[in-house]
Amino acid sequence: MLSSASFEMKEVDQRAIYEAFSLNIEAFITRTQVRDYKLNDDAFAEAIVDIEQDLQIIAFRRLKNVAITGMSKGKVAGIYAFRLFRASIIHFCPGKSQTHYQHDKAVNAVIALKTAFDVVNLPLTTISRPLLKELVYNLRKRHMNQETLALVIDGFLQR
Protein backbone atom coordinates (compact mmCIF):
# COMPACT_ATOMS: atom_id res chain seq x y z
CA MET A 1 0.00 0.00 0.00
CA LEU A 2 1.35 3.40 -0.96
CA SER A 3 0.70 6.15 1.51
CA SER A 4 -0.55 9.57 0.61
CA ALA A 5 2.37 11.02 2.54
CA SER A 6 3.07 14.68 2.11
CA PHE A 7 4.83 15.90 -0.95
CA GLU A 8 6.78 19.10 -1.15
CA MET A 9 6.72 21.01 -4.38
CA LYS A 10 8.52 24.31 -4.47
CA GLU A 11 7.53 25.52 -7.92
CA VAL A 12 6.02 24.23 -11.09
CA ASP A 13 8.68 23.12 -13.59
CA GLN A 14 6.91 23.76 -16.89
CA ARG A 15 9.57 22.08 -19.02
CA ALA A 16 9.58 18.86 -16.94
CA ILE A 17 5.79 18.68 -17.00
CA TYR A 18 5.67 19.31 -20.74
CA GLU A 19 8.26 16.56 -21.28
CA ALA A 20 6.33 14.12 -19.07
CA PHE A 21 3.07 15.02 -20.83
CA SER A 22 4.72 14.59 -24.27
CA LEU A 23 6.25 11.23 -23.31
CA ASN A 24 2.86 10.00 -22.15
CA ILE A 25 1.31 11.11 -25.44
CA GLU A 26 4.08 9.42 -27.43
CA ALA A 27 3.47 6.18 -25.50
CA PHE A 28 -0.24 6.42 -26.33
CA ILE A 29 0.46 7.17 -29.99
CA THR A 30 2.88 4.24 -30.24
CA ARG A 31 0.30 1.85 -28.74
CA THR A 32 -2.63 3.06 -30.84
CA GLN A 33 -1.00 3.99 -34.15
CA VAL A 34 -2.93 7.31 -34.15
CA ARG A 35 -0.84 9.82 -36.07
CA ASP A 36 -3.07 12.81 -36.76
CA TYR A 37 -2.97 14.90 -33.60
CA LYS A 38 -1.96 18.34 -32.41
CA LEU A 39 -0.91 19.75 -29.05
CA ASN A 40 -2.34 23.10 -28.07
CA ASP A 41 0.65 24.87 -26.50
CA ASP A 42 -1.47 27.85 -25.40
CA ALA A 43 -3.83 25.54 -23.52
CA PHE A 44 -0.84 23.83 -21.90
CA ALA A 45 0.63 27.18 -20.80
CA GLU A 46 -2.74 28.22 -19.37
CA ALA A 47 -2.97 24.93 -17.46
CA ILE A 48 0.47 25.57 -15.94
CA VAL A 49 -0.60 29.04 -14.78
CA ASP A 50 -3.74 27.54 -13.23
CA ILE A 51 -1.71 24.79 -11.54
CA GLU A 52 0.64 27.35 -10.01
CA GLN A 53 -2.30 29.42 -8.79
CA ASP A 54 -4.11 26.39 -7.31
CA LEU A 55 -0.98 25.26 -5.46
CA GLN A 56 -0.48 28.77 -4.07
CA ILE A 57 -4.12 29.04 -2.98
CA ILE A 58 -4.08 25.69 -1.18
CA ALA A 59 -0.76 26.49 0.46
CA PHE A 60 -2.08 29.88 1.60
CA ARG A 61 -5.40 28.49 2.84
CA ARG A 62 -3.70 25.74 4.78
CA LEU A 63 -0.58 27.70 5.66
CA LYS A 64 -0.01 26.13 9.05
CA ASN A 65 -0.82 22.58 7.91
CA VAL A 66 1.26 22.78 4.74
CA ALA A 67 4.20 24.24 6.66
CA ILE A 68 4.11 21.36 9.13
CA THR A 69 3.09 18.36 7.04
CA GLY A 70 3.44 19.46 3.43
CA MET A 71 0.78 18.91 0.79
CA SER A 72 -0.48 15.38 0.17
CA LYS A 73 0.47 13.62 -3.05
CA GLY A 74 -3.24 13.29 -3.78
CA LYS A 75 -3.74 17.05 -3.55
CA VAL A 76 -0.84 17.77 -5.89
CA ALA A 77 -1.85 15.02 -8.33
CA GLY A 78 -5.49 16.15 -8.21
CA ILE A 79 -4.57 19.71 -9.11
CA TYR A 80 -2.33 18.61 -11.98
CA ALA A 81 -4.79 16.07 -13.37
CA PHE A 82 -7.74 18.45 -13.19
CA ARG A 83 -5.97 21.39 -14.82
CA LEU A 84 -4.22 19.36 -17.52
CA PHE A 85 -7.50 17.64 -18.37
CA ARG A 86 -9.61 20.80 -18.42
CA ALA A 87 -7.16 22.51 -20.75
CA SER A 88 -7.90 20.09 -23.64
CA ILE A 89 -4.30 20.04 -24.77
CA ILE A 90 -4.51 17.07 -27.15
CA HIS A 91 -6.62 17.29 -30.30
CA PHE A 92 -6.93 14.49 -32.81
CA CYS A 93 -7.68 14.89 -36.52
CA PRO A 94 -6.63 18.57 -36.48
CA GLY A 95 -6.69 18.78 -40.28
CA LYS A 96 -10.44 18.28 -40.42
CA SER A 97 -12.38 21.34 -39.35
CA GLN A 98 -14.68 20.85 -36.37
CA THR A 99 -13.93 17.12 -36.35
CA HIS A 100 -12.31 15.60 -33.31
CA TYR A 101 -11.28 12.08 -32.53
CA GLN A 102 -14.19 10.57 -30.59
CA HIS A 103 -12.05 9.79 -27.60
CA ASP A 104 -10.29 13.18 -27.24
CA LYS A 105 -11.62 13.70 -23.74
CA ALA A 106 -10.88 10.17 -22.58
CA VAL A 107 -7.33 10.35 -23.92
CA ASN A 108 -6.85 13.82 -22.39
CA ALA A 109 -8.09 12.46 -19.05
CA VAL A 110 -5.79 9.42 -19.05
CA ILE A 111 -2.75 11.44 -20.17
CA ALA A 112 -3.52 14.12 -17.55
CA LEU A 113 -3.85 11.50 -14.80
CA LYS A 114 -0.68 9.69 -15.89
CA THR A 115 1.27 12.96 -15.99
CA ALA A 116 -0.11 14.02 -12.60
CA PHE A 117 0.94 10.72 -11.05
CA ASP A 118 4.37 11.05 -12.69
CA VAL A 119 4.78 14.49 -11.08
CA VAL A 120 4.36 13.00 -7.59
CA ASN A 121 6.39 9.88 -8.44
CA LEU A 122 3.52 7.39 -8.22
CA PRO A 123 2.77 4.72 -10.79
CA LEU A 124 -0.70 5.07 -12.29
CA THR A 125 -1.07 1.35 -11.59
CA THR A 126 -1.54 2.41 -7.95
CA ILE A 127 -5.20 2.73 -8.95
CA SER A 128 -6.93 -0.45 -10.09
CA ARG A 129 -8.24 -0.51 -13.66
CA PRO A 130 -11.95 -0.35 -12.65
CA LEU A 131 -11.29 2.62 -10.36
CA LEU A 132 -9.23 4.31 -13.07
CA LYS A 133 -12.12 3.88 -15.52
CA GLU A 134 -14.45 5.44 -12.96
CA LEU A 135 -12.05 8.32 -12.38
CA VAL A 136 -11.77 8.99 -16.12
CA TYR A 137 -15.57 8.82 -16.43
CA ASN A 138 -16.02 11.30 -13.58
CA LEU A 139 -13.47 13.69 -15.04
CA ARG A 140 -15.19 13.56 -18.44
CA LYS A 141 -18.87 13.43 -17.53
CA ARG A 142 -19.47 14.72 -14.03
CA HIS A 143 -18.73 17.84 -12.09
CA MET A 144 -15.45 17.35 -10.29
CA ASN A 145 -13.06 20.10 -9.27
CA GLN A 146 -9.39 19.82 -8.39
CA GLU A 147 -9.99 19.51 -4.65
CA THR A 148 -12.61 16.79 -5.04
CA LEU A 149 -10.28 14.93 -7.37
CA ALA A 150 -7.47 15.35 -4.81
CA LEU A 151 -9.61 13.80 -2.09
CA VAL A 152 -10.52 10.89 -4.35
CA ILE A 153 -6.86 10.26 -5.23
CA ASP A 154 -5.86 10.48 -1.56
CA GLY A 155 -8.58 7.93 -0.82
CA PHE A 156 -7.28 5.58 -3.52
CA LEU A 157 -3.76 5.88 -2.14
CA GLN A 158 -4.90 4.91 1.33
CA ARG A 159 -6.45 1.63 0.14
Cα-based distances in Å from 132 to 124, 136, 138? 9, 6, 10
Work out how many domains the chain is built from and give that number: 1
H helices of 33-72, in order, are: 41-61, 63-69
Does residue 7 lie in a domain region?
A: no
Does the pLDDT of residue 2 top 90, yes or no? no
Confidence at residue 47, expressed as pLDDT on a 0 to 100 scale: 93
Does the pLDDT of residue 65 top 80, yes or no? no
Interstrand relation of 90-92 and 71-72 (parallel, antiparallel or unpaired)? unpaired
Does residue 145 lie in a domain region?
A: yes
Does residue 4 lie in a domain region?
A: no
Give 135's pLDDT tier (boundaries 50, 70, 90): confident
Structural domain including 22 reads 12-157
Give me the amino acid identity at 80.
Y
Buried b / exposed e across 113-138, counting CB within 10 Å, b at 16+? Answer: bbbbbbbbebeeebbeeeebeebbee
Confidence at residue 42, expressed as pLDDT on a 0 to 100 scale: 92
Does residue 40 lie in a domain region?
A: yes
Q: Find the mean pLDDT for residues 93-120.
A: 74
Does residue 2 lie in a domain region?
A: no
Question: How does the average pLDDT of the chain come out, rounded?
Answer: 78
Does residue 27 lie in a domain region?
A: yes
Does residue 118 lie in a domain region?
A: yes
